[in-house]
Chain A
Amino acid sequence: MSLAFAPVAIPLVAGLLCAVVPGRRLRWGFSVAGMGASVAASAGLVAWVHRHGVAVVHFGGWPAPYGIVFAADLLGALMAAIGSWVALCTLLAFLADPHPRLDPFFHAGWHLMLAGMNGAFLTGDLFNLYVFFEVLLVASYFLLTLGSTRREAREAFGYVAVNLVASTLFLVAVALLYAAVGSVNLADLSRRLGEAPRELVRPAVFLLAVAFGVKAAVFPLYLWLPQAYALPRGPVAAYFGGMLTKVGVYALYRLFTTVQPTRGPEPWLVAVAVLTMVFGVLGALAQEDVRRILSLHIVSQVGYMVFGLALGTSEAWAGGLFYVLHHIGVKTALLLVSAAVESAYGSGTLRALAGLGHAHPWLGVCFAVPALSLAGIPPFSGFWAKVFLVRAGLEVGEAGPVAASLLVSLLTLLSMAKIFTGAFWGTAPERAEIPRLHYAAAAGVALLTVTWGLGGSVLFDLTAAAARSLADPGSYADAVLGGR
């Protein structure tokens, strides 16, 4: 089923075309059209997978586990679809204030990043996952430092170094698994990991968890994140904030469901999740800069997603996945609003921004809706995300962590209120113009949380179906390997 490869092939080709076509308008046309095609292809993939089950591509016609496969299950297809949609909206924010000199490189980098990300979501091979992580990271290094001064580029070095270490651990783990099982095909691993020597498998799984934990920014591996997201141009930070850590979360889900399934609550993972929630939100309360507050909230929210994974039941995974998809929309929307403000006013500190609500009431709405959703206020998607998680947590008797998660969501509300009162209330500053496309970008992403809040059952059915297929790695393996 070659459709499973389309969300990677389309951005690759589109990025290439953007690098060669002359003229800014034509380039923008190719770029937006390419993104649109990626969205359409990945949405089509979701529909196909929902109806027919796992979509498998055997590259070069070589059978698994000897050849390399793409295996799109509902989880991967959903992630690719949301990621593509958010990338399209964020592209509009770039269009709002373009950068003539950097444009040609930017488009190639942007599409390459999407190709890497979709590849990571759709591949059915652990080494391939590593490769797509690297594609994504190389593109992200590039986008992070695009148009920056020498000093800013040096500050990005911390992010590069952390990711290099994580990637090395990942590679070591892949080698260990290959030594233990003789395969890096995810489906093959899920079948044969049980009989492999434990002294190789246990350190490999641990190293994978650490490597993915760095990308996902879980406690205590999140310290690179606030610095890295404070650096790049606003829309880049918005997309990274929404998607980059979620690739790590996705990989953690893949690891602890398909490859090495957990059954029932995993105490150490629950502890990591709760600590991530608490430390993230406490860090956010101490900050004064809008972007830093928002990026520390990413950490806190990743805690909820890992909490869903840690509970180890199909219902909890469904809740956790709902949380992932909800959070991508909400967080990107918030960061896009802050990007619009920064590009118009040149500052992101709360004190400098008092009174924005008078000058730009619609921007206030675009901020308030995802902010309330982030804190879990009905009727937005964040409320349902938390309801599903709390219910799943109580079902397996984890009352303590559930209570902690509710407390954290109160603190989240407090810190959203701090941004809102600080930046959007008060006497108005001199009004600067904010291009319409910024509104379109933020509203396009914020739309996700509204629709999922009001029609939450549709998305929840999808994530529940995705979680059920995760709980049944046998059928995934059958689809990839055939009956063998």
Chain B
Amino acid sequence: MSTLVLRTVARVVVPLGVLYGLRLLFVGHDAPGGGFVGGLVTALAVLARWLAFGPPPPRRWERGVTLGVGVAAATGLAALLVGRPPLTHAVTHLGPVKVATSLVFDVGVYVLVVSATLAAVRTLWEATSP
């Protein structure tokens, strides 16, 4: 699988893919994007790296799943503390930059999706390789 062509392409595509995933995460508040799709794109980039440069390192991706769900759940429920319905978010402007608390929620989703996708791929990888 790991050919010269794939390795050369991967060197360019992997960092671009990670960056594009992050971009989707950050623009998601007003434009198409968000934590879910951003996480998928990032995970695909990492997967391309694994395909080109050999098997993934043994890492506990499951922890990222827990962390991501935790962050998303906490920010989702935080609105209850100020007496608003769950998932209510606040938006403010720092100079020209629009900042929303929903970004924290989305980061949680992003971490969750990246970790869950990579954990699933790793499990399948180990199950199918001899």
Please report A residues at the B interface, Cβ cutoff 8 Å: 2, 5, 9, 12-13, 16, 19-20, 57-61
Contacts and interface: CB of A to CB of B under 8 A. Distances in A.
B85 A13 contact: no
B29 interface: no
Interface stretch (B5-13, B17-25, B42-50, B69-77): B69-77
A9 B85 contact: no
Interface in B33-75: 66, 69-70, 73
A57 B70 contact: no
B120 to A, nearest CB: 12
Contact of B85 (A2, A16, A20): A2
B87 A60 contact: yes
B87 A59 contact: yes
A57 B85 contact: yes
B86 A5 contact: yes
Contact of A19 (B66, B85, B86): B66
B64 to A, nearest CB: 12
Contacts of A59: 85-88
B80 interface: yes
A16 B66 contact: yes
Nearest to B77: A9
A13 B85 CA distance: 17
Contact of A9 (B66, B84, B86): B86
Contacts of B77: 9, 13
A13 B86 CA distance: 14
Given A16-B66, A19-B66, A20-B66, A60 B85 contact: yes
A61 B88 contact: yes
A20 B73 CA distance: 14
Given A12-B73, A57-B86, A61-B88, 19 more contacts: A5-B86, A9-B73, A9-B77, A9-B86, A13-B73, A13-B77, A16-B66, A16-B69, A16-B70, A16-B73, A20-B66, A57-B85, A59-B88, A60-B85, A60-B86, A60-B87, A60-B89, A61-B84, A61-B85
B66 A2 contact: no
Given A16-B66, A19-B66, A20-B66, A2 B86 contact: yes
A61 B89 CA distance: 9
In order of increasing CB-CB distance, the 3 nearest A-B pairs are A60-B87, A59-B87, A61-B88
Contacts of A5: 86
Nearest to B89: A60
A5 B79 CA distance: 13
A287 to B, nearest CB: 35
